[in-house]
């Protein structure tokens, strides 16, 4: 009986026009990436992503490493990723990119063109999400790589060896994984918030507060936080001193693969519910 229903489910899935959906998704993603990255309104996201690189470059040009070692700079870089990128840069960058995908088009009164196209609403939503993720990862990924290269460039051959053959390679891989998961995690949440609320900003501020207090929550509640998963992937721990102790509270230790799978599961749940909301979405621009 169960085999029969499984067989019929597989049959239904096989009948779906997957190749058409794939073509539509690719084209929609291309249109959306163009809109995300090549508009004047995206300048502040470029600013958010690249401001640490500019500061590191200024330091490199003016006072190249007076009395600091590479391990100190590794700790500084870890702090930049955990305290700036995860907490602020990626958070607000994703808020800007993902909340615009649906809500922004409703405010501009142009979403109906997509809803009147022969594309399933789930395909529209997932393509927009993917385009947002590609845009955010491209911006913040390039920015983190730039931070990394500029941070160790001043050390000459030793710096190059650290980046190419030493522990640096593992560190940059971990940072890039954090950027990818951070963009996917925050992106999915902001996409959902923008479908649920006319103004997603209050919801985003609540999320920011939640992320800040999450480390002191019981371990079950810690599972509902993007930052807490990302913290477990940090290759270098950030020293918890002074005011930063508030932001770097140690959470229950979790294996990296558990953190990755946990976050991916959270993203999948959020996206599934977002697809459900998208399916029921009505165009009533007068209420925007």
Q: By CB under 8 A, name the binding residues for other proteins.
A: 17, 20, 23-24, 27-28, 31, 35, 39, 105, 108-110, 112-121, 279-280, 282-285
Q: List the structure tokens of 76.
A: 């500084």
Choice between 45 and 53, CB closer to other proteins: 45
Nearer to other proteins, 117 or 199 (CB): 117
CA end-to-end distance (rounded Å), the chain = 49
Q: Could you tell me if 20 and 117 are in contact, meaning their C-beta atoms sit under 8 angstroms apart?
A: no
Nearer to other proteins, 35 or 103 (CB): 35
> d(Cα 141, Cα 220) in Å, to the nearest integer?
30
**Residue with smaller CB distance to other proteins, 129 or 155:** 129
Cα 230 to Cα 44, 79, 192, distances in angstroms: 24, 13, 20
Residue 124 vs residues 28, 48, 128, 180: alpha-carbon distances, Å: 7, 27, 6, 21
Q: Please tell me whether residue 15 adopts helix, strand or coil conformation.
A: helix
Token pair recorded at residue 85: 């990128």
Give the residue from 249, 239, 24 showing the smallest Cα distance to 114.
24
Residue pair 144/180 in contact by the 8 Å Cβ criterion: no
Least separation, in Å, of the C-beta of 103 and other proteins?
A: 15
| Paired tokens of 189 | 């949440």
Nearer to other proteins, 63 or 108 (CB): 108
């Amino acid at each position: 009986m169960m085999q029969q229903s499984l067989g019929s489910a597989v049959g239904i899935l096989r009948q779906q026009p997957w190749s058409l959906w794939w073509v539509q998704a690719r084209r929609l993603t291309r249109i959306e990436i163009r809109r995300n990255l090549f508009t004047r309104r995206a300048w502040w996201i470029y600013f958010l992503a690249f401001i640490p690189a500019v500061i590191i470059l200024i330091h490199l040009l003016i006072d190249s490493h007076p009395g600091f070692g590479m391990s100190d700079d590794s700790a500084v870089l870890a702090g930049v990723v955990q305290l700036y990128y995860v907490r602020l840069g990626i958070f607000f960058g994703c808020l800007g990119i993902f909340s615009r995908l649906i809500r922004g088009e409703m405010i501009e009164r142009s979403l109906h063109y997509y809803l009147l196209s022969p594309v399933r609403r789930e395909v529209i939503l997932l393509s927009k999400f993917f385009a947002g993720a590609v845009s955010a990862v491209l911006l913040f990924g390039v920015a983190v790589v730039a931070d990394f290269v500029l941070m160790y460039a001043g050390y000459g051959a030793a710096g190059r060896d650290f980046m190419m053959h030493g522990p640096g390679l593992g560190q940059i891989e971990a940072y890039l994984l954090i950027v990818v998961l951070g963009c996917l995690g925050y992106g999915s949440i902001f996409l959902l918030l923008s479908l649920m609320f006319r103004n997603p900003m209050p919801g985003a501020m609540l999320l920011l507060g939640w992320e800040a207090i999450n480390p002191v929550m019981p371990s079950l509640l810690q599972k509902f936080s993007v930052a807490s998963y990302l913290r477990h992937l940090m290759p270098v721990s950030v020293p918890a001193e002074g005011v930063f102790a508030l932001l770097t509270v140690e959470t229950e230790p979790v294996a990296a693969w558990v953190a990755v799978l946990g976050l991916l599961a959270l993203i999948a749940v959020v996206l599934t519910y977002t697809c459900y909301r998208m399916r029921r979405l009505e165009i009533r621009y007068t209420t925007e």
